[in-house]
Amino acid sequence: MDASPDPAASPDPATADATGRRALITLIALTVLVHIVFNGSRITISLYAISLGAAPATVGLLLGLFGALPMIFSISAGRVIDRIGARTPMVTGAIMASVGALSVPLVPGLNTLYFASTMIGAGFMLFQIAQQNVAGYIGRPEQRALNFSLIALGFSVSNLIGPLLAGALIDHVGSVMTFAAIGWMPLVTAACLAWGIPALPTIPKARTRERRHLFELFMHRELRFVYLSTGLVSMAWDLYVFVMPIYCSRIGLSATRIGLVIGTFAFATFLVRTAIPMLVRRLNAWQMLRMALGVSSAVYFLFPLTDQTTLLMVLSFVLGLGLGSAQPMVMALLHDTTPEGRVGEAVGLRSTLMNTSQTGLPLMFGLLGSALGMTPVFWTVAALQLAGCEMIRRHHARQQVDRLKSAHRD
């Protein structure tokens, strides 16, 4: 459990802020170690399975196992975290990820990869839900958007390092030894957390062990819009990852050019997250989400209208700016609107929605693309993003009217 004192409770605001910053930076560094293994293992498992003669369907199953248990158990994990705190689940999740990665050099072979995929995926899920829960309580509530933007920036770093490190190691020492080379990283995270590093705030615990219904969260008007935003942002991101390589191949781009297009998107997500501290001083979270969905709608409408590499890179960059700014805002709003003692459950529900999207949308859009081509796929998502943007605009306008009425009554 989180036994360390809450730094935000310090009577000296400057000291509390400095303590919170140190805790957040340390937590991000420890998270990067776990996320590198999560990302690096996905490419290593794919290439090792192929080298063992696995069929594409088998490789797809192995990658699907990363999200299988998170899709089923994220909500339950969140409820447990609400009851016991974040530190123990983070330690457990980091150890699970390490055990999964190190199992491959201990028992090489295709069967071990099924175990490794499941353990790494489930361990990272448990770690991430606990981390996202406690991160919202570091510092003052008004610092949440900044906190989550810095965490997202850390994820961008590990998104880059994980595949690059795994690829270089595979070329030099082989897939099996790559697991041995990266599998120890989460153990460093687990050891630091077990020794009380960093000092974490005490999160509000659930006051009861009685079963609570998810319907109560969906009945919360603000949370419904947060989950709507989560679904739309996840849809736009997953569609890009899945469809763009297919679309670029169909229009005759080489593998190098496809890599440039997709790399531009990744670079933009990193770049915008460095600018979020400046953006949150000018725009609130709802405004940034509305802007992200509007940008996404416009880009997806334009994608099928061009087959030029340069234009696709420009559109990918703009899309990366929009979607890259959205995720920290969703997490900040989730903390701001969730009833006390249920943040872990709310984050778990968000994780379930995202894993369901990652599992189901590629199949759905793949069938639609096979039947009708890629243009209807792009334009369907563009229409959904635009509808979500308009709903958020109306919701934000209604919020402002309610605040004015409340101020007038006071």
42 and 72 share one domain: yes
Residues 183-200: pLDDT tens digits?
A: 999 999 999 999 999 998
pLDDT: which is higher, 20 or 212? 20
Instruction: Evaluate whether 265 touches 316 at the Cβ level (below 8 Å).
Output: yes
pLDDT over 90 at 347, yes or no: no
In a domain, 402, yes or no: yes
| Average pLDDT rounded to a whole number, residues 304-331 | 90
Instruction: Evaluate whether 268 touches 318 at the Cβ level (below 8 Å).
Output: yes
d(CA 45, CA 37): 11
Q: Which residue has the tokens 């940008």?
A: 295
180 and 235 share one domain: no
In a domain, 210, yes or no: no
Q: CA nearest 152: which of 242, 33, 276?
A: 276
In a domain, 211, yes or no: no
The two three-digit tokens of residue 302, written as one number: 């334009």
Residues 258-274: pLDDT tens digits?
A: 777 877 887 888 888 88
pLDDT for res 340: 75
Instruction: Identify the weakest region by mean pLDDT among 124-128, 135-139, 257-261.
Output: 257-261
d(CA 183, CA 190): 12
In a domain, 204, yes or no: no
pLDDT over 60 at 6, yes or no: no
**Could you tell me the sign of the dihedral formed by the alpha carbons of 320, 165, 36, 68, in that order?**
positive
180 and 220 share one domain: no
Q: How many domains does the chain have?
A: 2
98 and 27 share one domain: yes
Q: Is the pTM of this model over 0.85?
A: no
Residue type, 315: L
Range from 124-133, 244-253, 271-280, 319-328 that averages highest in pLDDT: 124-133
- Residue 402, number of CB atoms within 10 A of its CB: 10
pLDDT over 80 at 47, yes or no: yes
Instruction: Evaluate whether 82 touches 344 at the Cβ level (below 8 Å).
Output: yes
DSSP assignment of 15-58: HHHHHHHHHHHHHHHHHHHHHHHHHHHHHHHHHHHHHTT--HHH
pLDDT for res 10: 45
**Residues 6 or more apart from 241 whose CB is under 8 A from it?**
none
pLDDT over 70 at 1, yes or no: no
Cis ω before 7 (30° cut-off from 0)? no
Instruction: Identify the weakest region by mean pLDDT among 86-100, 122-136, 150-164.
Output: 150-164
Range of the domain at 179: 1-198
191 and 221 share one domain: no
In a domain, 264, yes or no: yes
The two three-digit tokens of residue 162, written as one number: 């994980």
Instruction: Evaluate whether 113 touches 328 at the Cβ level (below 8 Å).
Output: no
Q: CA nearest 144: which of 383, 318, 380, 332?
A: 332
Name the pLDDT band for 206 (thresholds 50, 70, 90): low
229 and 135 share one domain: no
Exposure string over 304-329, b if 16+ CB within 10 A, otherwise e: beeeebeebbbbbbbbbbbbbbbbbb
pLDDT for res 14: 67
**Residues 6 or more apart from 41 whose CB is under 8 A from it?**
100, 101, 116, 117, 120, 166, 179, 182
Integer angstrom CA distances of residue 212 from 206, 347, 351, 374: 10, 15, 18, 42
In a domain, 206, yes or no: no
Q: Which of 171, 198, 225 is the last residue of a domain?
A: 198
**Could you tell me the sign of the dihedral formed by the alpha carbons of 93, 97, 102, 106, in that order?**
positive
In a domain, 362, yes or no: yes
Instruction: Evaluate whether 63 touches 46 at the Cβ level (below 8 Å).
Output: yes
104 and 240 share one domain: no
150 and 235 share one domain: no
The two three-digit tokens of residue 311, written as one number: 């234009």
d(CA 307, CA 313): 11
In a domain, 139, yes or no: yes
189 and 321 share one domain: no
| Average pLDDT rounded to a whole number, residues 119-142 | 90
CATH code, 384? 1.20.1250.20
pLDDT for res 230: 80
Residue type, 97: A
Residue type, 44: T
Instruction: Evaluate whether 357 touches 241 at the Cβ level (below 8 Å).
Output: no
276 and 179 share one domain: no
Instruction: Evaluate whether 136 touches 145 at the Cβ level (below 8 Å).
Output: no
Q: Which of 198, 233, 256 is the last residue of a domain?
A: 198
Residues 72-89: pLDDT tens digits?
A: 888 889 889 988 999 999
Name the pLDDT band for 8 (thresholds 50, 70, 90): very low
Average pLDDT, the chain: 83
Instruction: Evaluate whether 320 touches 268 at the Cβ level (below 8 Å).
Output: yes
33 and 178 share one domain: yes
pLDDT over 80 at 408, yes or no: no
Q: Which of 166, 198, 230 is the last residue of a domain?
A: 198
31 and 140 share one domain: yes
pLDDT over 80 at 208, yes or no: no
